[in-house]
Structure 1
Amino acid sequence: MVNITYTANDQATHIVYTDQDGHQVKTDMITGKTAQTVDVHSDVPTGWKIVDGQVPATVHFTGDQTPDMTITVDHRHHIIDGQGELPTGLAPSAFTKTVTRTINVRQPDGTVKTTKQTATFNRIADVDEVTQQVTFSDWQLTSNGWVAFTTPAIDHYTPSQAMVEAVDDAASLTRDVTVDIAYTANRGTVEIKYVDKDGNEIGYQMITSHVGDTVKVTPQFPTNWVPMDPATVPTAVRIKEENGQIIIVVIRHAVNDPAQTKTVTRTIRVTTPDGQTTTTSQVAKISRYGDLDLVTGQIAWNPWTTARWDAFKPATIVGYTPSQAELPVVTVDGETADQTVAITYAAVAMPTPTQPANDVPAADHAVDQGAADNGDYQPAGQGTATNAAHQAATATTHHLTATTSAPVAVAAKQTPAAQSAAPAATNRQRLPQTGNGHDASTLAGLASLLGLFGLAGKRRKRD
């Protein structure tokens, strides 16, 4: 006997997951045997979701070929708002932001007033669980905002921006913004009126700048006018308002300072006994200043200054007297005129010697006395001639002394031999200077005098 038995054939089928484009995402095989019903253990691919169809719980194999089952799937997405667990690389700050608009208003005094406007936004994100791609939604304003801002008004000033517009478009609020507003002073004027002492307007000057500015002033006086009081002339003005400021400056006729100078001279001519003249000029310089009225052209002169001529003393010459022993100090002013003073010398008169009353003859006594005293000799009976010769010799001696610029010395007592030798020596010294008539006459006088001395000597020997 033959026993024939049947064994169920192995059966298989597939659960195929495809995306919407038909691309296979995953395939699970389901196996069993003919006539067997098996449980299906197939999960949707991670990150995917079923779009069309569904995964059966069981599959029954009939023995025929069990066809594959296709299930259409799509990416699974989930929404996140920044809370809880976040995908790798995301932080809570990616889901919220605060955008600030800073408005700085610079005041005319330099201080700054700052206003801050904030706008807070939130957004959500879509996470593709297959690709892990995060897609953010648009920002949504959740608090505050950039509202309109009106710049405060300040008298006499104009702001660079009168208003800052409101912004509520989230797409425009992508970054912080700073708005700077400054004020520009309105232009104003200051008028400087130049008036005379009676209040009559002679001229004016207009200064224009921005209100609040301090402007340096360069005075513009009318031609040939100057301020009555320089302290009243502003060196700078502050523009306080647009118009209406007036400054009064009293002015007067300008004057120039003309000057005159002159020299006043005292000329001193000193003529010495030798006929030479020395001139000394004493020069005093004086001046005076005036006020020239540049409007009328008239000059008011001030007094002359003063100077002085110093005292002057002529040189002393023995045996002579100057015609003026000293010229005094003189204060020179505008009334003093040039002067010329001539000073000459006059010989001092020599006294006539007297004979002593004794037995010595007059002639001999004269010789002895002369030898003992100064060598002067006056023979008896020749008093007049001898005295004249003596005076001529004295004058000649003084003349020669003045010529050589050496004072005349008083003759020392000499021996008769020395007395005889002295005239000869003196004569030899004088001979080279006999180049003119004056020196010739002088030598003739000396010769006469020496002759007298010779006679006296011979007479004494005879006695």
Structure 2
Amino acid sequence: MDAVVPTGWEIVSGTIPTQITLVGTETPDIIIKIKHNIISTATTKTVKRIITITNPDQTIKIIEQAVKYQRTAITDEATDITTYTEWQVDGDTGDFAAIDLTNYQGADYTKAGYTMMIDGQAGTTIAKTTPNAEAEDSNITVTFTPVRHTMHINYVNSQGDVIKSQEVTGDTGETKVVELSAPAEWLIVDDTKPRTIVFGADGAQDIKINIEYARVYVEPTDPKSVTDPLPDNPTKFYPAGVGYDDLNKAVTRTITIVDPKEFMAGPF
């Protein structure tokens, strides 16, 4: 005979006979008890926190944290309906542990001369969080902002006094070429070429430039008045004492010629 258990069902008791012998009305019924066939399957899921560290030299380090979950899928093959148990943490912890990036697994991820930025905020610690099984993977971005430094070019006279201080700012890793600018009425004694300043992790050292009073030579052929501006400081004017009469002087030598005749005719 061709009797079979319906799809999605299973026999609880009894067996399907391979043949039945009919004995008229006295042939007994055959009862086979069946039930829905239930299939249980373990399913897993992993939720990650991905930390991407982009260093100042653009090299990248990835740190991943993961929490694993497990639940059971229960499928009724008779109705084709699947239900699930609650997700349960599959492991020792259900947290993303806090991370101190100054000492994580023996490594210091901070960089001298740079401020660590975690998702745009200055800091070095990533907080502990507790995800849930329905959460998507999360991402944290770690970048670095160069520290702004300040140094000075000091213009110093022969007594060691700073007459002028020229402030220069720059970020870690930045190189600047700075033109020297002596104070008014002073001259640079040292080399006057521009200075190249490299800002390292600790900034840059101050630079000393030796200076002396500026001198202006006024030639007698080009005298000046108190209304003429100084060549290196047009807001000031030449002092008195450099005019034409101050720089030029006529010296007269008188030669007297005596006529001998007049000399001999004179009284004796």
Q: Who is 1:98 aligned against?
A: 46
**How far, CA to CA, are the matches of 2:26 and 2:217 in structure 1?**
139
**How far, CA to CA, are the matches of 1:235 and 1:229 in structure 2?**
15
Q: 1:79 to 1:296 in 2, by over 3 A?
A: same
Q: Who is 2:101 aligned against?
A: 151
Q: Which moved more, 1:115-124 or 1:140-149?
A: 140-149
| Identity rate, percent | 25
Contact 1:104 1:115 in 2 (8 A): yes
Contact 2:69 2:133 in 1 (8 A): no
**Structure 2 length normalisation: TM-score?**
0.55
Whether 1:205 aligns to 2:166 is yes
TM alignment of 1:118-133, pairs within 5 A: 118-133=66-81
Alpha-carbon shift at residue 193 of structure 1 (Å): 0.8
Contact 1:227 1:233 in 2 (8 A): no
**How far, CA to CA, are the matches of 1:164 and 1:248 in structure 2?**
44
Alpha-carbon shift at residue 230 of structure 1 (Å): 3.2
Q: Who is 1:50 aligned against?
A: none
User: Partner of 1:230: helix, strand, or coil?
Assistant: coil
Alpha-carbon shift at residue 45 of structure 1 (Å): 6.1
Instruction: Return the structure number with greater helix share.
Output: 1
Provide Cα deviations, 1:358-417, integer angstroms capped at 9, x if missing partner: xxxxxxxxxxxxxxxxxxxxxxxxxxxxxxxxxxxxxxxxxxxxxxxxxxxxxxxxxxxx
Matched to 1:151, the amino acid is L
Whether 1:164 aligns to 2:116 is no
Alpha-carbon shift at residue 114 of structure 1 (Å): 2.6
Match of 1:39 among 16, 28, 32: 28
Contact 2:149 2:199 in 1 (8 A): no
User: Partner of 1:124: helix, strand, or coil?
Assistant: strand
Q: Who is 2:88 aligned against?
A: 140
**How far, CA to CA, are the matches of 2:199 and 2:169 in structure 1?**
10
Contact 1:100 1:116 in 2 (8 A): yes
**How far, CA to CA, are the matches of 2:145 and 2:197 in structure 1?**
21
Matched to 1:174, the amino acid is E
**How far, CA to CA, are the matches of 1:101 and 1:77 in structure 2?**
36
Higher relative CO (CA 8 A, sep ≥ 6), structure 1 or 2? 2
**How far, CA to CA, are the matches of 1:197 and 1:109 in structure 2?**
44
Q: 1:237 to 1:223 in 2, by over 3 A?
A: farther
Aligned length, in residue pairs: 191
Q: State the Cα RMSD in Å.
A: 3.9
TM alignment of 1:344-383, pairs within 5 A: none
Q: 1:37 to 1:252 in 2, by over 3 A?
A: farther
Contact 1:79 1:124 in 2 (8 A): yes
Alpha-carbon shift at residue 232 of structure 1 (Å): 6.3
TM alignment of 1:281-292, pairs within 5 A: none
Contact 1:209 1:239 in 2 (8 A): no
Q: Who is 1:186 aligned against?
A: 147
**How far, CA to CA, are the matches of 2:41 and 2:176 in structure 1?**
66
Alpha-carbon shift at residue 43 of structure 1 (Å): 4.1
**How far, CA to CA, are the matches of 1:100 and 1:193 in structure 2?**
55
Alpha-carbon shift at residue 209 of structure 1 (Å): 3.5
Whether 1:248 aligns to 2:208 is yes
Q: Who is 1:174 aligned against?
A: 136
User: Partner of 2:74: helix, strand, or coil?
Assistant: strand
Alpha-carbon shift at residue 203 of structure 1 (Å): 0.5
User: Partner of 2:211: helix, strand, or coil?
Assistant: strand
Matched to 1:214, the amino acid is T
Q: 1:45 to 1:191 in 2, by over 3 A?
A: same
Contact 1:217 1:237 in 2 (8 A): no
Contact 2:170 2:199 in 1 (8 A): no
Q: Who is 1:422 aligned against?
A: none
Specify every segment of 5 or more residues in structure 1 that has no aligned partner in the other structure, as ranges.
Answer: 1-35, 48-75, 82-94, 262-290, 299-463
Alpha-carbon shift at residue 128 of structure 1 (Å): 1.8
Alpha-carbon shift at residue 136 of structure 1 (Å): 2.9
Q: 1:221 to 1:128 in 2, by over 3 A?
A: farther
**How far, CA to CA, are the matches of 1:222 and 1:213 in structure 2?**
27
Alpha-carbon shift at residue 165 of structure 1 (Å): 2.6
Matched to 2:100, the amino acid is T
Whether 1:113 aligns to 2:61 is yes
Contact 1:96 1:121 in 2 (8 A): yes
Matched to 2:54, the amino acid is R
Q: Who is 1:238 aligned against?
A: 199
Alpha-carbon shift at residue 110 of structure 1 (Å): 3.7
